[in-house]
Amino acid sequence: MATRMMASIALLIAFIAQNLTALPVQQPKTYSELPPKWEAQRIAQVGWDATDDETGYDVLHYNIEIRFDPSDESVSGHVDMLFASTEATLTQVAMHLESNMDIDNLEVDGTPATYTHSYPDNLTIDLPQAMNLGDSATVSIDYHGFPLGGGGLGALSFSEHMGVPIISSLSEPEGARLWWPCKDIPSEKSTARMVWTVPGQFFATGNGLLQSVISPEPGWRSYEWLENYPITSYLIAVTATNFAYWQDWYVTTSGDSLPLDYYIYPEDSALSLVDFADLPDVIAFFASVFGEYPFMDEKYGHAAFPFGGAMEHQTLTSYGASLITGTNAYHWIMVHELSHQWWGDLVTCGTWMDIWLNEGFAVYCDALWIEYDEGWQAFQNRMNYFKNSYFQSEQGWQGRFPIYDPEYMWGGTVYEKGGWIMHMIRYVLGEEDFWDFFLEWRDRYAFDAAVTADLQQTLEDVSGEDLDWFFDEWVYMAGYPEYEWGWQSTPYGADSSIVDVSITQVQSMLNQTPLVFTMPVEIGVTTTVGEEVHTLWNNQREQNFSFMVAGTPTDVEFDPDNWILKTAEETGYVFVPTQPTLPGYRGPVLGLGPNPANPNTQITYILPTPQQVTLSIYNLMGQKVATLVDGMQPAGLTQINWDGGSQASGIYLVRLETPTERITRKLTILK
């Protein structure tokens, strides 16, 4: 998903308050901080399901028949879920359906079944007969109701354009359950038949291919769509209004053709011809590097909907009508959503903790298209833009947190930092392995889902390198390195010089930021006789390097090709006088974050040598409330998560004691 940038919180509020189409165009260059409204509501209510109970079965096929009535914003549906047991004995099936939806009838293989349907969205069905491993059955559910968020930017939304009703959906991440019963986790994929019944003057779009259009009753039409490629619940979508329609084609290098379908508001139809004109070229580019478009037997296209961004629904992206301008202002959103057909839809994030696998890939694809289309300098400009918008998002209300299992799914950390992580993977692996990786990733996980650990494993297999260090610091921890560096040179012999470089990392350990980012750092040296690039393996907080160059250096650049997500300031050469076991810190170091804790925090300490350690937490009365470590500990960095949930809100003291030192840090618990 991509949403366009809002410049400030004030604008965000204005955005929520205003009619979308009345919004003046802001800088159209980056990824918004604005979640869909329904999601803000739901996160406030219940958060998303970190621990899901929809286990023990595998969905094989959905039949989803829904009648959408804009006159009262209601839905009434019939859903059949064909599934197979993955357990030796399965007696219950857990699904999700928002509790405000009324279930009229529920059967398993034609036999009425008992069930519990409880707030907020749990539907647990008692199977009339226990199932054995591999047995299959069909749950059939008739239901009706008024989906939450209806009338606004809901998961299922009833809205208007030019006074004409439009029905549309955007279910990512867990909105499908607001309008149809399902196993609502991103790793579950199956085929799906959709029958969308809407007022007869409307056309209803769906995933896959249109099978039939019938009139089930006067004044209504039913559009039957079949998605024959595996699809997950959040990618199943409907849009329906008085669409204008046009078609284009993408032709593969081997001559196969794919229809590109456009369902656009009639008032925007002419503008859309301009905005989508080069879509076939962009598909051809991604096909050339990621393998052919994944859903060649079906289609790709865009359906307009009333949202300030777009959503990569499988085979048919839903595209904000306000993005259709006839000026290509939001071309990057078209590119971003298209790339999700590979990375997001073909290979889907395995859990919502891995959302950066969808968005980081798609953000980098946006830049890769620019590199292909406009060249290296334009690509560099795009990456710098991503860097700055990530920095801004961290400095704003979103704050700093790791990209894996993020505190906020739709902002600069998951999106722009995610894009930068792909860029740095390219740097660390080199061009050949990087591009090979995508084909291997597709081979392993096409029509399936993958998690962050799968990414690391695949990259390690492709490159033959251990990448623990990279994932630990960039993915599982937070922030970025802040470098101070300097250089000096001395003549060596008649025609050479020795260059000394010092690199110091000065970032604070705020919110799980590593003390040291281990990275290869390129140093570009311009000399009296030419240019040289030397790669230094920087793995210490303060570090000196020396190397020889031909001629006499006239200029030295730090990371001249801009491969590292960082800040870097040239502050002069610093000699690091001693290199203890872990150079740069000679005594123990203790860090906390987040602080205040609500109620979890991560306590980090670093020891220069193995030694006896006691790590305890005291309240302000001096009473010890927890002992986290007591014993011999190894040198290096250790991180411990502490859950202060059993403690009252207030100030506590975290104390690290070694035979020679005692360090105390104040920790606030705010619940």
Q: Which residues bind Zn ion (CB under 5 A)?
A: 1-2, 359, 362
Cβ-based nearer residue to Zn ion, 299 or 340: 340
Cβ 366 to Zn ion shortest distance, Å: 9
386: exposed, middle or buried (Cβ count in 10 Å: 0-12, 13-18, 19+): buried
* Pick 2 or 592: Cβ nearer Zn ion: 2
- Report, in Å, the least distance between residue 350 CB and Zn ion: 17
CB of 358 to Zn ion, least distance (A): 6
Between 227 and 359, name the residue whose CB sits nearer to Zn ion: 359
Output the six-digit token pair for 289. Answer: 């590097």
* C-alpha distances in Å from residue 518, one per residue of 66, 540, 563, 564: 53, 7, 14, 11
The Cα–Cα gap between 454 and 68 comes to 40
The backbone torsions φ and ψ at residue 88, rounded to the nearest 5 degrees and listed phi first, read -60, -40
Residues 316/208, Cβ–Cβ less than 8 Å: no
Q: Is the Cβ of residue 1 or residue 357 nearer to Zn ion in the bound state?
A: 1
> Between 343 and 434, whose beta carbon lies closer to Zn ion?
343
Give how far Cα 451 sits from Cα of 20, 358, 418, 464, 471, Å. Answer: 35, 10, 14, 20, 13
> Looking at beta carbons only, is 317 or 505 nearer to Zn ion?
317
Which lies closer to Zn ion via its Cβ, residue 389 or residue 604? Answer: 389
Q: Which amino acid is at 432?
A: E
Nearer to Zn ion among residue 389 and residue 489 (C-beta): 389
Smallest distance from Zn ion to CB 31, Å: 8
Contact of 534 with 557, CB cutoff 8 Å: no
Nearer to Zn ion, 350 or 584 (CB): 350
Six-digit token pair at 461?
């297999």
Residue from 357, 528, 316 nearest 445 by CA: 357
Is 562 exposed, middle or buried (CB count within 10 Å of its CB: 0-12, 13-18, 19+)? middle
Sheet arrangement for strand 300-305: 2-3, 309-311, 317-320, 300-305, 257-264, 244-251
Shortest spacing between CB 171 and Zn ion, in angstroms: 14
Number of Cα atoms under 13 Å in the Cβ half of residue 385: 17
Nearer to Zn ion, 312 or 484 (CB): 312
Per the document, the length of the chain is: 671
Tell me the C-alpha distance between 625 and 379, whole Å.
Answer: 53
CB of 337 to Zn ion, least distance (A): 7
Nearer Cβ to Zn ion, position 121 or 359? 359
Q: Dig out the tokens for 156 from the structure.
A: 């299922």
Taking each helix axis from N to C end, the angle separating 452-463 and 355-374, rounded to the nearest 10 degrees, works out to 50
Closest to 236 (Cα-Cα) out of 299, 311, 304:
311
Residue 108: CB minimum distance to Zn ion, A: 37
Least CB distance from residue 323 to Zn ion, whole Å?
13
Question: Does an H or E element contain 65, and which?
Answer: strand 57-69
| 3-state per-residue secondary structure call for 364-426 | HHHHHHHHHHHCHHHHHHHHHHHHHHHHHHHHCCCCCCCCCCCCCCCCCHHHHHHHHHHHHHH
Amino acid found at 453: A
At closest approach, how far in Å is the CB of 446 from Zn ion?
19
Closest CB 339 distance from Zn ion, rounded Å: 8
Please state, in angstroms and rounded to a whole number, the distance separating the CA atoms of residues 536 and 546: 9
To which H or E segment does residue 302 belong? Answer: strand 300-305
Residue 1 or 81: which CB sits closer to Zn ion?
Answer: 1
DSSP element (H, E) containing 41: helix 37-45
Burial 93-123 (b: 16+ CB within 10 A, else e): bbbbbbbebebeebbbeeeebebebeeebbb
Least distance to Zn ion from the beta carbon of 40, Å?
A: 18
Output the smallest distance, CB 84 to Zn ion, in A. Answer: 32
CB of 356 to Zn ion, least distance (A): 10
Q: Which is nearer to Zn ion, 168 or 602 (CB)?
A: 168
Least distance from Zn ion to the Cβ atom of residue 316, Å: 15
For the bound state, the minimum distance from the C-beta of residue 344 to Zn ion, rounded and expressed in Å, comes to 7
Give the CA distances from residue 567 to residues 391, 540, 559, 564, in Å, rounded to whole numbers and listed in that order: 10, 17, 11, 9
110: left (phi over 0), alpha (psi -120 to 50) or beta: left
Shortest Å distance, C-beta 359 to Zn ion: 5
Residue type for position 249: W
